Structure formats: C-alpha cells, structure tokens
Amino acid sequence: MQHQVEANDRSQRQARIIKEALLIATVTEWSPGDGFAVLNVHRHESAQEGTVLAIRRNTGIIGQLKISSLYNDGAVADPIPGTFLGGSLDVKPGDELIIPPL
C-alpha cells in the first residue's frame, strides 16, 4: 500500500512539473511524409540548433524533437526516434514544446 502511495505521489509530482514547465515553442506544422515539424519559437534564448525539446500534451510527455534549423520567425525540428510512446511518431500542430524534465 505504501509503495502505491509513493508511486502515485511521484507520478503526480512529475505531472505537475511537466504542466508548469516553461513553454519554449509550439508546433505549427507537421510534415509526416518528410518527418519534420515547423515550430513557432516563443523563447529564443532557450532554442538553438541541436536543442532537444519534449512534446507536452496535457501533463505528459509523448516524445521529443531536436531543432535542426533556426529562422527569424521560427524553427524546424526532427523527431528523435525511440522517444515516442508506443513507438509511432505522434506530432500535431498545437503541440507544446518544453525543455525535457529530468
């Protein structure tokens, strides 16, 4: 019983950390055929080529993208294989991107 309470607390704590994480960028377009996302960058100081960002949906992380190119008005990012729940790429316009929590 105690183990379950601790697991729930840890899970709730992780969900709160994800929910409260600073928004770095949002996905404006996903090109499944080419396998890249176009981003609207909100915090330019936290987004550079090579930056890894976690895709936040609600209070969970569903995968990660890595910024490959930066532009004045946005960025392009590629999915990182093996980071997506269930193994299939699930990126949608409107997805929020945060620095991955530890």
Q: pLDDT of the chain along its 102 residues, tens only? A: 555 555 678 888 888 999 999 999 999 999 999 999 999 999 999 999 999 999 999 889 999 999 999 998 899 999 999 999 888 888 999 999 999 987
| φ, ψ for residue 4, nearest 5 deg | -65, -40
Q: CA 43, 48, 79 angle in degrees (round to 5)?
A: 100
Res 5: pLDDT = 53
Give the Cα separation of 69 and 50 in Å (integer): 8
pTM score: 0.86
Res 48: pLDDT = 95
Res 87: pLDDT = 84
What totals of helices (H) and strands (E) does the chain contain, helices first? 1, 6
